[in-house]
Structure 1
Amino acid sequence: MRSADVVIVGAGIIGAAVARKLAMGGFRVTVLDRGASAGGTSSSGEGNILVSDKGPGAELDLAVLSGRLWTEFAAELGEELGPGFPDLEFEAKGGLVVATTGAGADALLAFASTQRKAGVDARAVTAAEAAELEPDLTPRVEAAVFYPGDAQVQPAVATEALLASARRHGARVRQGVTVLGGVVDRGRLVGVETTAGRFAAEHTVVAAGPWSAEVAAGLGVRLPVLPRRGTVLVTARMPHRVRHKVYDADYVGAVESGDAALQTSSVVESTAAGTVLIGSSRERRGFDERIEAAVVGELAAKAMLLFPFLADVPVMRAYGGFRPFIPDHLPVIGPDPRLPGLWHATGHEGAGIGLAPGTAELIGALMTGAEPEIPAAPYAVTRPSLGLKEETTG
């Protein structure tokens, strides 16, 4: 039996951030993943760090906290890991949300107003000002809002950087290790059984993204996490013509929707490598990995409505991934009273990259008994909106 204070199941961005936080706090941490680190959801996203798509409430609170921490992370990790480590490509580029219809404009401006009341810097700009921000933007702009707080990072590199930092503080990362079940002693989870043997732990954190329900079930509890499929297009390299993250106002509605059917909206941004990323799609169809021509076509067509010049730019490839969807659209973060010793850090859907630092802060505070910077109750597994309270034991 191997002993550790904390076992984290999942070596994606959430598990990596939690591992670093706890290792820096003196915990003995072991991270387990049945695949490669950053091999799941964290490698299939765009690296978004956003406040622009979140209305007032708990998710926005977590996003604001995380946005501040990402700025600190980028500086700390760069200094700690040195110039030999790949660049995180952290860029506080800001986001521009555009409405091209009258109805969309009214909804966008109303949404931005509620965000400003919650303290978000959401600046309504004129069509002329939007054109100054993005000279190649469509002239069909009915309304636009600029969000200086939006940023971007290279998600796979960021994940590996957090894991590298965690290792420097004593954490161990084991890849190719599958969790088979839990070890329970007198009603408390005291470790996990795996394909590499038993790992003892005072605390076990499930951070397995869209596979978290499967892991939780193996440990004996139900968790309503479902995979939600997303597809992203990547163009050929070109001179930078998209300066910010730019998306149409429909994106917010797609993010907040729980509909299982295919939804697409235009999201366009450049990368440091010179490519343009085009999203976004959302649909629930289990773990079906196929990339469908109809989805690719919709994404391309909607992107061209925002940036007509993209009609002449070749798409180099398309990739997809699964995001951890929870019906009430809030991640589950914290201890599970149904099985003492079990913790959750999952359900962030497409916002996991952005919300990782705040999630780690919450787990770190709760595990040490400190007062979190933001209230933890909205993310509890026992919140009424999940309907799991009746299953708790205690």
Structure 2
Amino acid sequence: MSTRNSSDVIVVGAGVVGAACAYYAARSGLSVTVIDRGPVAGGTTGAGEGNLLVSDKAPGPELDLALLSTRLWRELAEELPARIEFEAKGGLVVASDDSGTAALRDFAAAQTKAGVRADEVSAALLRELEPHLSPALAGGFHYPQDAQVQPALAAAHLLRASGALVRTGEEVTVILTGPGGEVRGVRTPAGDVHAPYVVNAAGTWGGELARLADSFLPVLPRRGFVLVTEPLPRVVRHKVYAADYVADVASGSAALQTSAVVEGTPAGPVLIGASRERVGFDRSLSVEVLRRLAEGATALFPVLAKARVIRTYAGFRPYLPDHLPAIGADPGVPGLLHACGHEGAGIGLAPATGLIVARLMTGERPPMDIRPFLPGRFTSAA
């Protein structure tokens, strides 16, 4: 049982990844304290669209993690009914010409071998799935496994269901260690909290938290903007994005990249993205980015040209150079585990990450091969 000053595990970060770590740790019988310098879902989670995607991932470790998380999200939707606004609406990836369609076909064929369902949709049938799509599109692929949640609600309800002691508005300033370098807890301005395990789920600040333990993770923020329209009738039924979005996700470029991503929400507003650029933690509004996002969205859905944008917001994805999250034990600090660096996929990958971390702490076998995600892969670069 957690007390104010001790528990079995301290999770640093109250976003959706930290909440999932707390949830699965508690289900494994561990007492949990969650500490965040801000509110619940106050960082990347609160600025996310809630995407749970397999459609944008090539075969490999991240897709394997996403497929596991897809199954776990559906279980969570049963356990936390209606509260997280889980919507199994599917994704639709579209191409503007025949060469783009051919590239999508090759990508989908490889994904299918890895366990993804991808159904080709001809140009003539695209508008049956999305009646307001531009008639100029050449074709696309439908991904029925793609889904969406409301990310802040998901984080809050996972934390509530975990029974964890949640301490917000407290910044971790020290990782406490013992004589052998093993974790003993953390220090905040409110005092020391003791635990034999600390989980780094600090998102874009994951590298800074690692440094407090004399460890190294090269986490960098990658800024993105989202446009939010006025509530509309169900103009967009799926998550719809242009084929170049996949390339942007995989790119390591620091320069501005934009690709059209459009999706409706149960509450009515349409969310429009996506942009990526590495500009540190600069939150300055970029009119150029907003212009590009609006142009991309109206190219896909001309009807949106008449819709009013009621707000915009920026967020920061926690980026690691090889585009894979760091999940697992720190190689040099016993008791420190990392669960960060998921970039824009953290909401989708959160349950699998939480389950892996919980099993590592209880000595159980992880649910999949975690070697590609181990944090030690960065130690040689320190």
* TM-score calculated relative to the size of structure 1: 0.94
Q: 2:357 is matched with which residue?
A: 363
Q: 2:306 is matched with which residue?
A: 312
1:164 positional shift:
0.7
Q: Which amino acid aligns with 1:237?
A: P
Distance 1:211 1:102 in 2: 42
Gaps of 5+ in 2: none
| Partner of residue 174 from structure 2, selected from 165, 172, 181 | 181
Q: 2:223 is matched with which residue?
A: 229
1:63 positional shift:
0.4
Aligned residues between the structures: 378
Q: Which amino acid aligns with 1:36?
A: P
Q: 1:81 is matched with which residue?
A: none
1:238 positional shift:
1.3
> Does the Cα contact within 8 Å between 2:25 and 2:355 map onto a contact in 1?
no
Greater shift after overlay, 369-378 or 40-49?
369-378
| Partner of residue 333 from structure 2, selected from 329, 339, 346 | 339
Q: 2:127 is matched with which residue?
A: 131
Q: Which amino acid aligns with 2:113?
A: K
Deviations 1:262-302 (A, max 9, x none): 00000000011111000000000000011211100000001
| Partner of residue 55 from structure 2, selected from 52, 55, 65 | 52
| SS at 1:355 equivalent | helix
> Does the Cα contact within 8 Å between 2:83 and 2:157 map onto a contact in 1?
no
Q: 1:87 is matched with which residue?
A: 83
Q: 1:5 is matched with which residue?
A: 8
> Does the Cα contact within 8 Å between 1:108 and 1:143 map onto a contact in 2?
no
1:101 positional shift:
2.5
Distance 1:157 1:4 in 2: 25
Deviations 1:17-64 (A, max 9, x none): 110111121111100000101111101010000000000000000100
* TM-score calculated relative to the size of structure 2: 0.97
Distance 2:216 2:354 in 1: 22
Gaps of 5+ in 1: 79-85
> Does the Cα contact within 8 Å between 1:40 and 1:321 map onto a contact in 2?
yes
> Does the Cα contact within 8 Å between 1:109 and 1:143 map onto a contact in 2?
no
The alignment status of 1:288 with 2:291, answered yes or no, reads: no
Deviations 1:160-214 (A, max 9, x none): 00011112xxx20000111111112122121111111111111000000001111
Q: 1:65 is matched with which residue?
A: 68
| SS at 1:289 equivalent | coil
Q: Which amino acid aligns with 1:58?
A: P
> Does the Cα contact within 8 Å between 2:172 and 2:187 map onto a contact in 1?
yes
Distance 2:267 2:299 in 1: 24
1:390 positional shift:
7.3
Q: 2:318 is matched with which residue?
A: 324
Deviations 1:347-390 (A, max 9, x none): 1111111100110111112221212221111110123xx3x147
Tell me: CA distance 1:390–1:314, structure 2 relative to 1, closer, same or farther (3 Å): closer
Distance 1:255 1:101 in 2: 21
Q: 1:39 is matched with which residue?
A: 42
Deviations 1:90-133 (A, max 9, x none): 10000000010333222211111110111210111111221110
Distance 2:90 2:172 in 1: 40
